[in-house]
C-alpha cells in the first residue's frame, strides 16, 4: 500500500467518524430547548381513494396470497363507516387511514389485539440453553423472536381498517453504557378479537420428523402437542399426516374430524429412527396440501422437526424457495422446533417466507402454549404483503432496524417488507404471567424499532422527524390498504428523570426490551470471543439499569412489567452461568453496544 492509499484510508476513517456518530454521540439539537414536548401527530388524510399511491399499494408477486373466493372468516361485529381516514387525536399517535379502505373491511369492533410478524415467535432455544446451565451462542436469539415475547399496549385501533399502525418516538440513555439513543417504534394492532376470530375450514398437513434425533423427549413433545391440536379441530377441518426419516411417508390423508380417534392412534404410535430427509418430508407435505387446495378452504403445513437434514437437499435456500413458491399459491407453513440438538436456520427462514410462524418447544409448558393457545391465531394470517416505507428528514440518519427481518436501509430512510401478520394472543401487558419463568409470554406481538441519529451539524427545519407509509393486502379480498403516520416531536407524554422522553409508556418498554436484547447478544458474542469478563460486565450494567427502571415504575405505583421482570430472570441466569466458567477474564467495562463507527 502506498502513501496515497494510506491517506485515502485515513480520510475514509474520518468520513465515517463524521457520518456515523453513533447512538449516543449527540442528542437532538431541538430537544434541549426547554423540554419541547415530543409526540406523533397525524398527517392530513388524503380524501380521495389512493390505492397503490406512491407505489406502496402495488402488490408484488412474492409473498403469500390468500384466495379471494375464500369465505369471510372474521367476525366483523358492528361495521363502522368507511370514512377513509381516522385520527387517533386523543391518543399518542396518529395514523391516517387510506383511502383504500373497502366495504369488506372489518371496522373497529372494540378489540385491541396485537399483530405478530411471520417468523420466529419466541426465544425458547436461548432460554433452554441458559436453563441447562450453558452459554447460548449469539445466533440462538434473534430480535424478531425475542420481541414477540413482549406485549405492547398500543392506542385503540380506530383507523377503520383491520390493521392500524402506530408510529411512536422515544429518546433515552442506553442501559449498558448510558449513551443516548433515539428510537422510532412502529406497532401494529387490530380491532379483531382473538375470541371472535372465525376461520374457514382447514386442511392441516402435519409433517413430522421421525428421524433418530427425535427419539425421547422431542417426539414426546410432538405427540403431546399434536394430540392437543387435534382436540381443537373444528367440524369441517381435515388432516393429513406425513412423517419423514430416510424417506417421507404419508400415514393418513385428508381425514375428517370424524376420524379423530384414528388420527390420535396414528400420532401416539409414532416412533423415531434413521436419518432426516427433511426436504422429502416438506416437499411431500406441500404436495398433499396442494392436492386438496380449493375454494373456501385454508391449507397449511405444520412442520415439526429439529431442523437438521442429514440426507437429500441441504441448501436452506431451496427450502426457502419451496415455501415461498407455495405461499404464492396460498399454502402457508408453520414450523415448530424441538430437540436439544436443534438447527434453527431452516425452520425459522421457511416460516418467515411461508406466511407462518416459528416456535421452539423449550419445556412442557410450551407444548400447551403453542398447541392450545397459539394455535388459535397462527393458522390464518390477518394481513399479507405488508410494506412500510420510512422517510426521515435531512437532520436525521437511520442506523438500524430491529424487530423485523425485512428491514432494508437506504438513503433518507428505509423500508420494511413483512410477508404476513397474525393475531398476537396476549391482551394486556400488565397481565401477570405464570409463575414458572419463561412461560406464558408467547403471543406478545412485538414491535419494530428503528434507530435514528441526529445528523451532525444539520439543524432540523421542523419538529418532524419523519414519515411512515404503510400498505397491506387483505388476505381474503386481495384489497390493498394504506396508512400514513408522521413522527413529530411536538407532544411529549412522558418525560423521565434522566432526560429521556417518550411518546407514551409503551415506547419506554420498547427501549428497555431493545437494550436487553442487545445486552444478551453482546454477552453471547463476548463469551464466544473468550472474554467472559466483559460479558459479565455487560450483563451487570444491564441488570442494574433494568432493575432501577423497574423500581422506578414500582415507586410510581405501576405494576412492574411482567415481560421485563421475566427477562431479568434470564439476565441473572446468564450471569450465573458465566460465573461458573473457569479461567475467567477479569470483569470489565462493557463495550459500547452502539459504537460510534
Partner 1 sequence: MMTHIPRPRGRLMTLLLHGALLTTVATLLSGCPLIVDWPPDDSSPRAQPFPDVDTDTPNEPWDADQSATGDVWQRQASQFPPVKGALVIGNVTGQTRVVRLRALRSTVEMDCDAIVQSPQLALRPEHFAPAQSWLVASGRAVPVMPRGKGACSAVLIDGTGLPRRLLFWHHTALQVASIPSTVAGAQSGGRFVAIAASEGEAVWGAHIALFPAPSLFDPVAPEGCAMPSQEQDLSWTALPSGNQTLMEVVTAPDGCSAMDLLTDLGVQRVYVCVPPGMLPFSAGDDVYIAGLATGHNVLPVTGVELLSDSGHIRMGRGTDIVYFGKGDAKIAVTQGCPALHDEVGTYARALSVTVQEPGKAAFQLDNGATLKLAGGGRLHLVRAIERLVWDTAVAASLVGNRHIESVWSKP
CA 580 centroid distance within chain: 32
428: Cβ–Cβ under 8 A, 6 or more apart, which residues?
A: 151, 153
Site residues (CB under 8 A) for partner 1, limited to 10-39: 10, 12-13, 16
Nearest to 94 by CA among 424, 417, 488, 440: 488
**544 contributes a contact to partner 1 by CB under 8 A:** yes
**559 contributes a contact to partner 1 by CB under 8 A:** no
Q: Can you tell me which of 454, 537, 562, 593 binds partner 1, judged by CB under 8 A?
A: 537
Q: Give the Å distances, CA to CA, from 346 to 63, 337, 349.
A: 17, 10, 5
Q: Can you tell me which of 313, 365, 494, 496 binds partner 1, judged by CB under 8 A?
A: 313
Q: What angle do CA 5, 9, 14 make, to 5 degrees?
A: 145
CB atoms within 10 A of CB 47: 10
Name the one range near partner 1 by CB under 8 A: 79-87, 129-137, 202-210, 214-222.
129-137
**How far apart are CB 321 and partner 1 at their closest, in Å?**
4
Site residues (CB under 8 A) for partner 1, limited to 268-307: 279-280, 283-284, 286-287
594: Cβ–Cβ under 8 A, 6 or more apart, which residues?
A: 22, 23, 24, 174, 179, 181, 399, 451, 518
- Separation of alpha carbons 75 and 111, rounded Å: 11
Phi, psi of 560 (to 5 degrees): -55, 135
Name the one range near partner 1 by CB under 8 A: 69-77, 322-330, 550-558, 559-567.
322-330
The residue among 24 and 312 lying less far from partner 1, judged by its C-beta, is: 312
**586 contributes a contact to partner 1 by CB under 8 A:** yes
- Separation of alpha carbons 292 and 205, rounded Å: 10
**389 contributes a contact to partner 1 by CB under 8 A:** no
**How far apart are CB 113 and partner 1 at their closest, in Å?**
32
Site residues (CB under 8 A) for partner 1, limited to 247-266: 247
Helix pair angle (532-555, 562-580), 10° resolution: 150
Q: Can you tell me which of 326, 359, 517, 549 binds partner 1, judged by CB under 8 A?
A: 326
**How far apart are CB 314 and partner 1 at their closest, in Å?**
4
Site residues (CB under 8 A) for partner 1, limited to 160-219: none
Please report where in the chains the cell 375428517 appears, as a residue.
Answer: 256
**380 contributes a contact to partner 1 by CB under 8 A:** no
Site residues (CB under 8 A) for partner 1, limited to 334-353: 340-344
- Separation of alpha carbons 25 and 21, rounded Å: 6
Site residues (CB under 8 A) for partner 1, limited to 140-169: 140
Q: Residue 487's beta-bridge partner residues?
A: 466
Q: Can you tell me which of 201, 256, 409, 500 binds partner 1, judged by CB under 8 A?
A: 409
Q: What angle do CA 272, 276, 280 make, to 5 degrees?
A: 115
The residue among 30 and 340 lying less far from partner 1, judged by its C-beta, is: 340
DSSP structure string for 521-577: HHHHHHHHTT-HHHHHHHHHHHHHHHHHHHHHHHHTTPPPPHHHHHHHHHHHHHHHH
Please report where in the chains the cell 398476537 appears, as a residue.
Answer: 424
Q: Can you tell me which of 79, 110, 134, 552 binds partner 1, judged by CB under 8 A?
A: 134
**581 contributes a contact to partner 1 by CB under 8 A:** yes
**533 contributes a contact to partner 1 by CB under 8 A:** yes
The residue among 196 and 290 lying less far from partner 1, judged by its C-beta, is: 290
**How far apart are CB 268 and partner 1 at their closest, in Å?**
28
Name the one range near partner 1 by CB under 8 A: 63-71, 79-87, 313-321, 466-474.
313-321
The residue among 240 and 524 lying less far from partner 1, judged by its C-beta, is: 524
The residue among 314 and 458 lying less far from partner 1, judged by its C-beta, is: 314
Phi, psi of 345 (to 5 degrees): -60, -55
Name the one range near partner 1 by CB under 8 A: 380-388, 433-441, 482-490, 575-583.
575-583
**How far apart are CB 563 and partner 1 at their closest, in Å?**
23
The residue among 265 and 408 lying less far from partner 1, judged by its C-beta, is: 408
Tell me, by CB under 8 A, how many residues bind partner 1: 77
- Helix or strand run (H / E) with residue 485: strand 480-488
Site residues (CB under 8 A) for partner 1, limited to 60-79: none
Name the one range near partner 1 by CB under 8 A: 65-73, 81-89, 128-136, 185-193.
128-136
User: Where do the H-state alpha helices sit in 172-305?
Assistant: 217-231, 260-268, 278-292
**How far apart are CB 580 and partner 1 at their closest, in Å?**
9
Bridge pairing between strands 357-360 and 119-120: parallel
Site residues (CB under 8 A) for partner 1, limited to 455-484: none
**43 contributes a contact to partner 1 by CB under 8 A:** no
**511 contributes a contact to partner 1 by CB under 8 A:** no
Name the one range near partner 1 by CB under 8 A: 33-41, 204-212, 317-325, 512-520.
317-325
Instruction: For residue 167, give the C-alpha cell.
Output: 408510529
**How far apart are CB 350 and partner 1 at their closest, in Å?**
11
Instruction: For residue 185, give the C-alpha cell.
Output: 417504534
Q: For 257-382, where are the E strands, in sequence order?
A: 298-305, 331-337, 357-360
Q: What angle do CA 418, 563, 114 make, to 5 degrees?
A: 35
The residue among 43 and 540 lying less far from partner 1, judged by its C-beta, is: 540
Q: Give the Å distances, CA to CA, from 264 to 227, 230, 231, 261, 269.
A: 6, 8, 9, 5, 9
Amino acid at each position: 500500500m502506498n502513501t496515497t492509499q494510506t491517506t485515502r484510508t485515513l480520510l475514509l476513517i474520518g468520513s465515517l467518524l463524521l457520518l456515523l456518530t453513533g447512538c449516543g454521540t449527540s442528542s437532538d439539537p431541538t430537544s434541549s430547548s426547554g423540554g419541547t414536548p415530543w409526540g406523533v401527530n397525524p398527517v392530513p388524510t388524503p380524501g380521495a381513494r389512493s390505492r397503490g399511491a406512491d407505489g406502496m399499494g402495488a402488490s408484488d408477486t412474492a409473498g403469500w396470497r390468500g384466495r379471494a373466493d375464500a369465505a369471510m372468516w372474521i367476525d366483523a361485529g358492528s361495521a363502522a363507516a368507511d370514512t377513509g381516514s381516522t385520527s387517533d387525536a386523543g391518543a399518542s399517535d396518529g395514523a391516517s387511514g387510506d383511502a383504500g379502505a373497502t366495504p369488506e373491511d372489518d371496522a373497529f369492533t372494540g378489540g385491541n389485539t396485537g399483530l405478530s410478524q411471520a417468523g420466529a415467535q419466541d426465544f425458547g432455544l436461548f432460554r433452554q440453553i441458559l436453563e441447562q446451565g450453558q452459554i447460548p451462542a449469539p445466533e440462538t436469539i434473534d430480535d424478531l423472536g425475542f420481541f414477540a415475547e413482549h406485549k405492547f399496549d398500543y392506542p385503540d385501533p380506530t383507523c377503520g381498517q383491520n390493521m392500524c399502525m402506530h408510529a411512536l418516538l422515544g429518546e433515552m440513555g442506553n442501559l449498558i453504557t448510558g449513551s443516548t439513543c433515539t428510537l422510532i417504534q412502529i406497532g401494529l394492532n387490530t380491532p379483531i378479537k382473538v375470541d371472535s376470530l372465525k376461520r374457514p375450514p382447514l386442511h392441516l398437513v402435519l409433517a413430522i420428523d421421525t428421524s433418530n434425533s427425535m427419539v425421547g423427549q422431542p417426539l414426546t413433545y410432538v405427540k403431546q402437542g399434536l394430540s392437543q391440536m387435534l382436540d381443537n379441530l373444528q367440524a369441517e377441518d381435515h388432516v393429513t399426516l406425513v412423517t419423514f426419516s430416510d424417506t417421507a411417508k404419508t400415514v393418513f390423508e385428508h381425514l375428517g374430524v370424524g376420524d379423530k380417534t384414528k388420527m390420535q392412534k396414528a400420532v401416539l404410535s409414532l416412533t423415531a429412527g434413521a436419518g432426516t430427509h427433511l426436504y422429502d418430508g416438506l416437499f411431500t407435505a406441500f404436495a398433499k396440501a396442494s392436492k386438496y387446495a380449493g375454494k373456501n378452504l385454508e391449507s397449511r403445513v405444520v412442520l415439526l422437526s429439529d431442523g437438521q437434514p442429514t440426507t437429500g437437499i441441504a441448501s436452506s435456500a431451496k427450502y426457502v424457495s419451496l415455501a415461498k413458491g407455495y405461499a404464492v399459491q396460498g399454502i402457508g407453513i408453520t414450523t415448530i422446533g424441538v430437540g436439544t440438538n436443534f438447527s434453527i436456520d431452516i425452520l425459522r427462514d421457511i416460516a418467515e417466507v411461508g406466511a407462518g410462524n416459528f416456535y421452539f418447544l423449550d419445556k412442557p409448558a410450551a407444548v400447551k402454549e403453542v398447541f392450545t393457545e397459539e394455535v388459535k391465531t397462527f393458522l390464518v394470517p390477518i394481513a399479507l404483503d405488508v410494506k412500510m416505507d420510512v422517510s426521515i428528514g435531512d437532520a436525521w440518519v437511520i442506523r438500524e432496524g430491529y424487530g423485523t427481518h425485512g428491514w432494508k436501509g437506504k438513503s433518507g430512510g428505509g423500508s420494511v417488507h413483512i410477508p404476513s401478520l397474525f393475531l398476537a394472543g396476549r391482551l394486556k401487558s400488565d397481565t401477570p404471567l405464570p409463575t414458572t419463568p419463561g412461560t406464558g409470554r408467547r403471543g406478545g406481538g412485538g414491535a419494530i424499532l428503528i434507530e435514528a441519529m441526529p445528523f451532525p451539524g444539520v439543524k432540523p427545519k421542523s419538529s418532524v422527524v419523519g414519515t411512515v407509509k404503510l400498505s397491506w393486502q387483505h388476505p381474503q379480498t386481495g384489497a390493498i390498504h394504506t396508512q400514513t403516520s408522521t413522527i413529530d416531536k411536538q407532544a411529549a407524554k412522558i418525560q423521565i428523570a434522566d432526560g429521556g422522553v417518550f411518546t407514551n409508556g409503551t415506547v419506554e418498554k420498547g427501549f428497555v426490551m431493545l437494550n436487553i436484547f442487545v445486552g444478551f447478544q453482546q454477552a453471547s458474542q463476548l463469551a464466544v470471543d473468550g472474554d467472559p469478563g466483559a460479558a459479565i460486565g455487560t450483563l451487570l450494567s444491564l441488570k442494574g439499569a433494568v432493575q432501577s427502571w423497574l423500581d422506578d415504575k414500582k415507586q410510581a405505583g405501576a405494576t412492574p412489567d411482567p415481560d421485563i421482570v421475566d427477562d431479568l430472570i434470564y439476565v441473572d441466569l446468564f450471569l450465573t452461568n458465566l460465573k461458573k466458567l473457569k479461567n475467567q477474564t477479569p470483569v470489565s467495562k462493557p463495550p459500547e453496544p452502539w459504537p460510534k463507527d
